[in-house]
Chain A
Amino acid sequence: MLTLSGVGKRYPTGDRALTDIELTLPKGQVMALIGPSGAGKSTLIRCVNRLVEPTQGSIRLEETELTKLSGHKLRHARRSMGMIFQEYALVDRLTVMENVLSGQLGYVGFWRSFLRRYPQEAVVEAFRLLERVGLPHAIDKRADALSGGQRQRVGIARALLQSPKLLLVDEPTASLDPKTSRQIMRLIRELCAERNLAAIINIHDVALAQQFADRIVGLRAGKIVFDGLPSELTSEMLTTIYGEEDWDTTPEPMDDDATNDASVNSPYQHTMKSVAAGGAQ
């Protein structure tokens, strides 16, 4: 569905952020993108929706060549790619509902959005999404009154209101505590499954990536150095990606967590309740 071929990015300062990236993402696949800071992870996903302009190569979303688009067509392409940010990137002084509805901006005209007169279906869908992420009671709260985990949920709802085909997720858990991180990752994972969305998730936490992704791509200094299943990611591979480190003595956070956090193995309903409870706090 998404195909990157020969994508490269060189910043005006001369730094090469990406070199010759070849990547194909089928429908419904959740791919984790790991690698050290400065490896080009953020640049890569920003190249896909052209918040950063790639300097070479081609990026195709289904039949559309994204690198050549401009103006109106670029807006159309962007609305089919939802993006979730590290620092949530909500507009603090707008209410939760306004933030979620801003996901519709690619669909409505300027005056409609200026007067906040969104189509009825959009509002229904926005409210449904807020219920799904466990925040229906917060519609009139200002975004800066929410906790980190709640804000990220609003960010997710905003991205999904775009009715995207693809989710671009940039370090969704970097500013969250371990428990909330897992809840958020699980939520993203479930939503992708419900809607058959493909996703590229930039993530620092290798254990989370292994647990929640179908596929892992390792990036080092702007080049793909690993591409495979989570189970194939060995300590040697991690050394290739991140550099020398004694990987095995690090306690496996997954096992560690499973004993403490009862909700990990519990059925779906149970998880949802804990998500909703987390949101209500």
Chain B
Amino acid sequence: MSEQLEAPLTQMKAQARQQAAQRGEWRRLPLIESARLRWGLAIGAVIYLFLALASVEVNWARVSEGAGRAVNFLGAFMQPDFISRYDDIVAGLLESLTMTLTSTVLGVLLAIPVGLGAARNISPLPIYFVCRAIIAVSRTFQEIIIAILFVVMFGFGPFAGMITLAFATIGFMAKLLAEDIEDLDWRQVEAVRATGASWWQTMNHAVQPQVMPRLIGLSMYRLDINFRESSVIGIVGAGGIGATLNTSLSRYEYDTSAAILLIIIAIVLLCEYSSSHVRRWTQ
């Protein structure tokens, strides 16, 4: 019923708009056609904004007190101090870098079976659910939460950090890998299967060539992410440069903090630059 009514109705509306345009009255078509929904959404957004802003408590006295620190901090960026905590910075940085590398390698190696298991088109249903659950848990919780748990289990130090990052890498890589496998060109797989290849041979000859370039690109990207994350999990005791940064901030040694931040930015830039090279080289 309503469909039958709608067709002439839209036609009438279109005609009315044409006549209006002929008289020189024309307005842009609204993004959302139904006026009620449009206004409802707009009013809802305003109310939400009002409530949300009202619940933000700002202690202006504290802010003005902190303003001086902000100036100090910006000043510190102009003259970062690499020297006075040199040993701490180098130790933290080395720890971060080793954690980054080992966790990425381990994470990617473990992500491959999980990714295969989470691809609906090649794995049986029970395995699919288990692998998807692993991915969901690993992706939901921030690295730092996982780090807290692993520090409790494995004790303070880079080992807990490494396990944390490897775990987070599994979720990230396995999800993207599974999506890739689900999208792959199925004709190639069938062609290889048609030759009488076993499951392993099919994986090696039909699936691996199709997903490999992206897998390498994603691993490089994850290496970059892992380094950035390794700079924060130190806050909860999982090793790396984050601990050094946290200490310097709580001591208000802004010049050292600025130096550490600049090093992090430089390394991330370097990572990004080299990963774009590696990706070009693998494709």
Contacts and interface: CB of A to CB of B under 8 A. Distances in A.
Interface of A: 95, 97-98, 101, 116, 118, 120-124, 126-127, 136-137, 139-140
Contacts of A98: 28
B24 A95 contact: no
A97 B26 contact: yes
Nearest to B21: A127
Contacts of A127: 18, 21-22, 24, 26
A139 B17 contact: yes
Interface of B: 14, 17-18, 21-29
A121 B21 contact: no
A137 B26 contact: no
A233 to B, nearest CB: 43
A118 B29 CA distance: 14
Given A98-B28, A120-B25, A122-B24, 7 more contacts: A116-B28, A120-B24, A123-B21, A124-B23, A137-B14, A139-B18, A140-B14
27 contacts: A95-B28, A97-B21, A98-B28, A116-B27, A116-B28, A118-B26, A120-B23, A120-B24, A120-B25, A121-B24, A122-B24, A123-B21, A123-B24, A123-B25, A123-B26, A124-B23, A124-B24, A126-B26, A127-B21, A127-B22, A127-B24, A136-B18, A137-B18, A139-B17, A139-B21, A140-B17, A140-B29
Contacts, number: 38
A95 B18 CA distance: 13
B15 to A, nearest CB: 9
Nearest to B22: A127
Contacts of A123: 21, 24-26
A121 B25 CA distance: 9
Contacts of A126: 21, 26
B230 to A, nearest CB: 42
Given A137-B14, A140-B14, A95 B21 contact: no
Nearest to B23: A124
Contacts of A116: 27-28
A98 B23 CA distance: 16
Contacts of B28: 95, 98, 116
A203 to B, nearest CB: 33
Main secondary structure of the interface of A (DSSP, over half): helix
Contacts of B18: 127, 136-137, 139
A111 to B, nearest CB: 14
B29 A95 contact: yes
Most buried by A among B14, B17, B21, B29: B21
Contacts of B26: 97, 101, 118, 123, 126-127, 139
B73 to A, nearest CB: 38
A139 B16 CA distance: 12
Nearest to A116: B28
A110 to B, nearest CB: 16
A179 B217 CA distance: 49
Most buried by B among A118, A136, A140: A140
Nearest to A128: B22
Nearest to A101: B26
Contacts of B22: 124, 127
A145 B186 CA distance: 33
Contacts of B14: 137, 140
A127 to B, nearest CB: 4
The 4 A-B residue pairs with the shortest CB-CB distance, nearest first, are A120-B24, A124-B24, A116-B28, A123-B24
A38 B26 CA distance: 43
Most buried by B among A121, A122, A127, A136: A127
A137 B18 CA distance: 7
A12 B118 CA distance: 53
Most buried by A among B18, B26, B27: B26
B107 to A, nearest CB: 40
Contacts of A139: 17-18, 21, 26
B25 to A, nearest CB: 7
A95 B25 CA distance: 16
A126 B29 CA distance: 16
Nearest to A117: B27
A121 B24 CA distance: 6
A46 B23 CA distance: 36
A136 B26 CA distance: 13
Contacts of B17: 139-140
Contacts of A101: 26
A126 B25 CA distance: 11
